Amino acid sequence: MKKSQIAVAGLLAWTLSATTWAQEPESCKQVRFAEIGWADISATTGVGMTLVEGLGYSPRKIMASVPIAFTGVKTGQIDVFLGYWAPSMDAVIEPFLKEDAVKVLPKANLEGAKYTLAVPTYTAEAGLKSFQDIARFKDQLGGKIYGIEPGNDGNLLIDGMIKSNQFGLGEFRMVESSEAGMIVQVQRAVKKKEPVVFLAWAPHPMNTQFDITYLAGGDDVFGPDYGAAKVYTVVKPDYESRCPNVGKLLNNLQFDVEMESQLMEKVLEKENPTTVARNWIKANPAVLDRWLAGVTTYDGQDGVAAVKKYLGL
C-alpha cells in the first residue's frame, strides 16, 4: 500500500511538473504580429503565423506603419515585430529603447540584407552612380526620389536629406506611396528607359526583376557598404519570461536572403503570405528541426510532430 501511494504521488508530482513547464498562460495563446506591408516582412510574418498556429496558438496580424508597430509592442497591443531593419530604423526605435519599452532579440533574424537608394543600371551608366550625382540629374529625374509608405524609415532618411539640402537635394521632392506603388513607377521608367532614383533593398525580387545599381556614397545616411543591414525581432521586454515557449521559437526563427527572396516572389504575386509560407515549409521541411528546436505545442506536446501534422507532412 505504501509503495502504491508513493508511486501515485510520484506520478502526480511528475504530471504537475510537466504541465507547469510545458503549458503557457492563456494570455500567451493569441500571438499578435505586426505587419507593415513590406513583402519581406509579410513573408516572414506568414512563416511565424503558420508555425504558431501549427503549435496550437492563435496568430493574429495587425497592420501598422513602422512607428505604430513599435508603439504597439510598447503598449502591449502587438506581441511580435519581425521587421526591425538596422541601422535604417535605429532613429525610429531609439526612443522606445531608451524607455525600456521594447526588447530587441539578440540574434538577427536575417543577415546579409541591404537598404539604400538605387537606379536602373542604364541610369548609372549615364553617370548617376552616387548620392553626390543625384542633384546633377534633377531635370531628368523631374526632381523626384521615390520612397514607399508614409512614416517608413527609408522615407524619413530621404526627407532628412532634402530638408538639410544634403548632397544638394534641397529642391527635390520625395514621392510617397507604397512598396507596390514604387515598383510600378520603376517599371514605367524602365520601360521608357528614363532615369529614376528609388528606395531599394535586398532581399527583394526587384534585384532580379530589374537590372539595378545601388548608389555609392550614402554611408552617412543609410550606413556603410551600400546600406548593409540586419533585421531583428522586437518584443515587449517581459514577453519571453511570460511566454517562454513562443519566445524560444522567436529566438530560433532565422532566415537567409535566398529563402526570403523565394517567399517574397510569391507574396508579390498577391498570394496569401500564410499560404506561401505553408507551401514553402512543406517543400523544405528540414528547416523545422532548427526553427522548432526546444519548442513544444501550446499544451506541451512535440512541436515538430504537431507542425508536420498541421501541414499534412
Q: Which residues pair with 110 in a beta bridge?
A: 231
Q: Are the C-beta atoms of residues 155 and 38 closer than 8 Å to each other?
A: no
39 and 125 assigned to the same domain = no
Q: Which residues pair with 118 in a beta bridge?
A: 198, 214
As given in the structure block, the three cell numbers for residue 2 are 505504501
89 and 234 assigned to the same domain = yes
171 and 150 assigned to the same domain = yes
Is residue 91 situated within a structural domain? yes
Is residue 107 situated within a structural domain? yes
Out of 226, 254, 272, pick the residue that ends a domain: 226
pLDDT at 14: 41
236 and 92 assigned to the same domain = yes
Range of the domain at 146: 113-226
Residue 16 has pLDDT above 50, yes or no: no
Residue 24 has pLDDT above 60, yes or no: yes
Is residue 119 situated within a structural domain? yes
139 and 94 assigned to the same domain = no
Residues 133-140, mean pLDDT to the nearest whole number: 98
98 and 119 assigned to the same domain = no
Tally of domains within the chain: 2
Out of 209, 226, 243, pick the residue that ends a domain: 226
Residue 2 has pLDDT above 90, yes or no: no
203 and 259 assigned to the same domain = no
pLDDT at 152: 86
Residues in the chain: 313
Residues 48-71, mean pLDDT to the nearest whole number: 97
246 and 178 assigned to the same domain = no
Q: Are strands 110-120 and 228-235 parallel, antiparallel or unpaired?
A: antiparallel
Is residue 18 situated within a structural domain? no
Is residue 20 situated within a structural domain? no
pTM score above 0.85: no
Q: What is the CATH number of the domain that holds 144?
A: 3.40.190.100
As given in the structure block, the three cell numbers for residue 39 are 513583402
Residue 153 has pLDDT above 70, yes or no: yes
120 and 268 assigned to the same domain = no
pLDDT at 21: 45
205 and 153 assigned to the same domain = yes
> Which segments of the chain are extended strands (E)?
30-35, 58-63, 80-86, 103-104, 110-120, 144-146, 173-175, 198-202, 212-214, 228-235
Cα separation, 104 vs 231, whole angstroms: 10
Sign of dihedral through CA atoms 117, 121, 126, 129?
Answer: positive
Is residue 34 situated within a structural domain? yes
Residue 228 has pLDDT above 50, yes or no: yes
Is residue 16 situated within a structural domain? no
89 and 162 assigned to the same domain = no
Is residue 6 situated within a structural domain? no
As given in the structure block, the three cell numbers for residue 249 are 521559437
Q: What is the CATH number of the domain that holds 84?
A: 3.40.190.10
33 and 104 assigned to the same domain = yes
Residue 19 has pLDDT above 80, yes or no: no
Q: Are the C-beta atoms of residues 110 and 48 closer than 8 Å to each other?
A: no
Out of 226, 250, 278, pick the residue that ends a domain: 226
Residue 77 has pLDDT above 70, yes or no: yes
